[in-house]
Amino acid sequence: MNETQPLSPSDERLFAGLSYLLGLVVALIIWGVQKDRSRFVRFHALQAIGLDVLFILASMVISGCLLASTFTLLSLMVAGIITAGAYANPESPTFLLALILPMGLPVFIVTPVFLLVGTTLFVRIYAAVKVFQGHDFHFPAIGRQLDHWLVTA
C-alpha cells in the first residue's frame, strides 16, 4: 500500500482508538507511522501521547508526595515513641498511636495510586469509545492547544 494514500474512515477510527487504549509506546508508533496519512489519527495519537505524559507526571508527583509524607509520618512516630518513653508504658496514647498509624499506612499509600490508575483507565476507555464511534473527541485543555498547534503547523 502506498504510504501517502489516505486512510479509510474505519482505519482512522481504529488507529486513533488504539492510540488511547494501548498507551504511550503504541501511540508513538501509530503517530510515527500514520501521521502523514490522516489528520484525525495524527491528532488523536498526539492527544493520547499528551495524556500519557500528563499521567506519568501526575504519578511522579503523587509518588514523591507519598514518599515524603510516609517518611515524615514514620519519623514522627519514632520521635513520639522515643520522647514519650512509650516502650516503658504500653498503655500510653503515644504507644497506641504508634501501633495504629502503621496499619493505616498502606491505605494512605494505595488510595491515591488507585485513584490515578482508575482515572487513567476510565479516561482511556472513554476517549477510545468516542473515537471508535467517529467523534472528533477533544480533551478540554490538551485538545484545544493541540488542535491549534496542528492548524498553525
DSSP strands (E only) in 2-149? none
- pLDDT class of 81 with cuts at 50, 70, 90: low
To the question of pTM greater than 0.95 for the whole model, the response is: no
State the pLDDT at residue 111.
Answer: 84
Of the candidates 55, 73, 57, 51, which has an alpha carbon nearest to the alpha carbon of residue 140? 51
State the pLDDT at residue 1.
Answer: 47
Do residues 98 and 77 touch, judged by C-beta distance below 8 A?
A: yes
Query: What average pLDDT score do residues 85-96 get?
Result: 64
